[in-house]
């Protein structure tokens, strides 16, 4: 029975060797920005030569790779647990590791793995209270992704509020959008008799376009506000809470969509002044369009991380585009649902041509 179980366990693993180190990529394959077919034929092999011939990997990608490091014994099937340095062990060598990290950043990165900065925090404790203590290194640390569970708050009743399954968003917003649009038509039906459907639809379309600009603006100038080693604890903590955590743990499926409650607050703050400015131009229909745009954005964002679009589709290009934003060009590519405003504001990421189609499932 043990032999049978060991065989089954080995069959489900996807382990590789790189520069005398060993990695279990089983839980990473479907997340790999380059697709699962890029890893084809590498199981139980030394991938060093093939890896070095590939296009250079970014610092962030190389940093992420260390998350999947295992022992030589595990690679040979003699162990079943990952070997990951303890927080205490990393803390003992913390300053030395940080200096090594800065030194390695000066070199071309396709050959080396960044040394860890995770000694700065304790991953077994709530993360949010710790951010204010690492402000000097926060901006560098938050842009080095990991693949591990993240706990924001200590109390469970606060922590549960930070997690949102993707289906909650359409379940809440679709009825809200319908109700909002229906109420607008009901209250103003007597004023709409002479208004064409084209005019009404144009208001909704304007709302969608308004959202795309808002999406870009928030992502670029709020979510990616420029931080320095002198940024205060409150600013770093706020940044981590609203977007930094997504770059630190980009594969957390429960933190890929915006929770409805803060979404309602944000919509109210933005809509209130627009209502008074556009009150003679069906502002509620513009709101409907903006909410439709937001709903599309949030669903697209989740799909870009966990979906497998086919080559030739818009979402196929946007998945590649968004992964480039995460792992290579975090100061570019702010559009999620479309690169429109990246083109307008000259922050577009230019994707290289591939010799083969990527597949993520």
The CATH number assigned to the domain holding 27 equals 3.10.120.10
Q: How far apart are CA 66 and CA 80, in angstroms?
A: 18
For residue 25, tell me if it sits in a domain: yes
> Containing domain of residue 50, as a range?
15-76
**Residue 341: pLDDT over 50:** yes
- For residue 188 the two structure tokens come to 């103003």
- Boundary (domain end) residue, out of 76, 102, 126: 76
- Residue count of the chain, please give it: 361
- Boundary (domain end) residue, out of 55, 76, 97: 76
The angle at the Cα of 44, spanning 115 to 113, to the nearest 5 degrees, equals: 10
Report the binding-site residues. 32, 57, 219, 224, 243, 246-247, 301, 305, 322, 325-326
Structure confidence at residue 95 as a pLDDT band (50, 70, 90): very low
Residue-level pLDDT at 195: 60
Report the binding-site residues for Zn(2+). 219, 224, 243, 246-247, 301, 305, 322, 325-326
Burial readout 1-11 (b: 16 or more C-beta within 10 A, e: otherwise): eeeeeeeeeee
Q: How far apart are CA 330 and CA 247, in angstroms?
A: 9
Q: Could you tell me if 34 and 164 lie in one domain? A: no
**Residue 4: pLDDT over 50:** no
Which of 161, 116, 160, 124 has the alpha carbon at shortest distance from 140?
A: 116
Residue-level pLDDT at 243: 96
Pairing of the two strands 45-46 and 15-18: parallel
Q: Which residues contact 182 (CB under 8 A, 6 or more apart)?
A: none
**Residue 266: pLDDT over 50:** yes
Direct distance between the N- and C-terminal alpha carbons of the chain, in angstroms, rounded to an integer: 31
For residue 350, tell me if it sits in a domain: no
Q: How many CB atoms lie within 10 A of CB 307?
A: 14
Which of 138, 165, 299 has the alpha carbon at shortest distance from 229?
A: 138
- Boundary (domain end) residue, out of 46, 76, 106: 76
For residue 115, tell me if it sits in a domain: no
Structure confidence at residue 13 as a pLDDT band (50, 70, 90): confident
Q: Could you tell me if 293 and 180 lie in one domain? A: yes
Phi, psi of 64 (to 5 degrees): -60, -35
For residue 351, tell me if it sits in a domain: no
Q: Could you tell me if 28 and 172 lie in one domain? A: no
Span 112-152, pLDDT tens digits: 566 789 999 999 999 999 999 999 999 999 999 999 999 99
Span 271-309, pLDDT tens digits: 998 888 877 777 889 999 999 999 999 999 999 999 999
Q: Could you tell me if 172 and 266 lie in one domain? A: yes
CB-CB contact of 131 with 242 (8 Å): no
What 3-state class would DSSP assign to 24? strand
For residue 133, tell me if it sits in a domain: no
Query: What DSSP designation does 75 have?
Result: H
Q: Could you tell me if 185 and 60 lie in one domain? A: no
State the total domains in the chain: 2
Q: How far apart are CA 1 and CA 23, in angstroms?
A: 26
Report the binding-site residues for heme. 32, 57
| Inter-helix orientation angle 260-277/283-306, to 10° | 150
Q: Could you tell me if 328 and 191 lie in one domain? A: yes
Mean pLDDT of the chain: 86
Residue-level pLDDT at 111: 53
Q: Could you tell me if 40 and 162 lie in one domain? A: no
Residue-level pLDDT at 73: 84
Q: How far apart are CA 85 and CA 67, in angstroms?
A: 11
Tell me the mean pLDDT in the region 181-208. 77
């Amino acid at each position: 029975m043990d032999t049978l179980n060991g065989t089954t366990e080995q069959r489900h693993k996807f382990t590789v060797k790189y520069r005398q180190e060993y990695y279990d990529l089983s839980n990473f394959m479907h997340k790999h920005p380059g697709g699962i077919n890029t890893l084809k034929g590498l199981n139980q092999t030394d991938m060093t030569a093939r890896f070095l011939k590939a296009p250079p990997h970014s610092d962030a990608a190389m940093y992420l790779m260390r998350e999947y490091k295992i022992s030589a014994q595990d690679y040979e099937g003699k162990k079943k647990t990952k070997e990951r340095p303890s927080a205490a062990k990393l803390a003992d060598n913390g300053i030395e590791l940080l200096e090594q990290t800065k030194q390695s950043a000066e070199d071309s990165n396709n050959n080396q793995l960044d040394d860890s900065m995770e000694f700065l925090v304790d991953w077994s404790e709530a993360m949010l209270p710790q951010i204010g203590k690492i402000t000097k290194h926060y901006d560098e640390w938050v842009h080095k992704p990991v693949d591990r569970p993240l706990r924001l708050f200590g109390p469970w009743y606060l922590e549960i509020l930070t997690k949102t399954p993707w289906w909650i968003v359409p379940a809440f917003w679709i009825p809200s959008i319908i109700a909002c649009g229906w109420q607008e038509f009901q209250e103003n039906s007597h004023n709409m008799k002479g208004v064409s459907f084209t005019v009404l639809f144009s208001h909704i379309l304007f709302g969608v376009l308004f959202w795309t600009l808002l999406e870009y603006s928030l992502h670029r100038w709020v979510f990616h506000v420029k931080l320095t080693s002198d940024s205060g604890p409150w600013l770093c903590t706020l940044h981590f809470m609203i977007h930094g955590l997504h770059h630190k743990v980009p594969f957390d499926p429960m933190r890929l969509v915006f929770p409805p409650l803060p979404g309602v607050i944000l919509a109210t703050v933005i809509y209130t002044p627009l209502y008074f400015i556009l009150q003679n131009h069906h502002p509620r229909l513009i709101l409907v369009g903006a909410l439709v745009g937001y709903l599309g954005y949030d669903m697209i964002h989740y799909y870009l991380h966990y979906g497998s679009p086919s080559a030739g589709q818009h979402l196929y290009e946007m998945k590649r585009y968004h992964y480039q934003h995460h792992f290579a060009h975090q100061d570019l590519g702010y559009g999620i649902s479309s690169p429109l405003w990246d083109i307008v504001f000259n922050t577009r990421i230019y994707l290289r041509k591939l010799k083969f189609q990527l597949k993520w499932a």
